[in-house]
Amino acid sequence: MEEGVKKAIELLSEEETVKWILGLLATGAIGYAIERILRQYLKTPLILKTRWLKHKGKAHEYSGKRLMSDFWQDLLGDEYGLFPGADKIIEAHHFVTFKDVVVTDFVPRAPGFYYSKTLWNNPKLAPLSLGVIRVIPNEQTGSKRLLAIHKPSEFEAHWDMEKGVPIVVSREVYEKLGDDLQKTGVAHVQRITAIMSDVGDYSRELRMADIPSTFPVVREERFVKKGGDPVPIMGNAWVVYKTPKTSGFLNFRFWAGVDYHRDNLREAKKKLEKLIPPGGFALTDFDDKVRHWVDAPLRLSDAWKYLGLLGKKITTQRVKNLSDRAP
């Protein structure tokens, strides 16, 4: 059978080969056998696989102005899962492709929270959706790196970084993007294809209320096609602070995708320090790669837990204030 398949590939043109293979792949067990054989002879199995999976409703493509909101809606369900029984388009092991995007190591601090039921039902929690983080790999995450996908639209960049789609990439993929990431904080990518999967050791940090634990994972360099100049995007640096009497959360804008982004980060840190009330000090940092508050006692990995408690404290206090004002 292997010899027959090999000879057929050699005789057919590229377009005819694709049509022939797609037809075979649509037939259950035979499709599985053919795919195993083709893996040995074809250099572009990803193209064939995604076309077939797209036909089966298991591969999805996102581009244009609505790419992030479309992705989150497909992941969470109709109307972002706000109503019971919402149909989810994206499931584990599905392929997702993003076209013409900005990839950066500044990841939303609360991925998908902007679209979650919790926030829609309680808009006062909006500050908890602000802020981005950079994290470095450790012994638990091994060779995986945490990045995020954003729209390459400078006009809309002023609020999009917190809405980005987190992705986990292999060291191989990271090194392909690494030069641009080091220089300006972003890489412009023409096409990037990922497989939806549990993100393993990053799950604890990425999971938020109402948000699934499956996110895009990019394992091989061939899944990424670079191209284009860096595009400026804007995000929020942030800090949790403590004073003798209170605690709070502050954020301040910075630019990535520009030559001066490192200086811009330092400037954001200085602005945040000026906003901390007298007698206060920073409890945590937004950046694992460059420590801006060296003496901050809380590790970045604990920040979500603290901010969750802070959110409950703010909500409880506001409810109490409303009760006190009631006649």
Burial class (CB in 10 A: 0-12, 13-18, 19+), 42: middle
326 has pLDDT over 60: no
Beginning with the edge strand found earlier in the chain, give each strand of the sheet holding 233-242 in spatial order.
Answer: 247-256, 233-242, 281-282
Average pLDDT over all residues of the chain:
75
| Residue 229 or residue 273, greater confidence | 273
For residues 302 and 312, what is the distance between their CA atoms, to the nearest angstrom? Answer: 16
- Mean pLDDT is lowest, of 130-134, 149-153, 261-265, for 149-153
Region 139-150 average pLDDT: 79
Reference 237, options 292, 297, 163; nearest CA is: 292
Pure H helices in 83-170: 117-121, 157-160
| Whole-number Å distance between alpha carbons of 177 and 182 | 9
* The pLDDT of residue 14 is above 50: no
Q: Is the pLDDT of residue 62 over 50?
A: yes
pTM metric for this prediction:
0.73
Out of 78-92, 212-226, 298-312, the most confident range is 212-226
Q: Is the pLDDT of residue 42 over 50?
A: no
Confidence class for position 188, pLDDT limits 50, 70, 90: very high
Residue 34 has a pLDDT of 52
Neighbour count for residue 89 (Cβ, 10 Å): 15
Residue 10's pLDDT band, with cuts at 50, 70 and 90, is very low
Look at residue 320 in the predicted model and tell me its pLDDT. 41
In the structure, what pLDDT confidence band is assigned to residue 66 with cuts at 50, 70 and 90? confident
pLDDT score recorded for residue 200: 66
Q: Is the pLDDT of residue 43 over 60?
A: no
pLDDT at 215: 86
CA 10, 11, 16, 17 torsion-angle sign: negative
Region 16-30: mean pLDDT is 48
The C-alpha angle with vertex 80 and arms to 78 and 85, in degrees rounded to 5, equals: 50
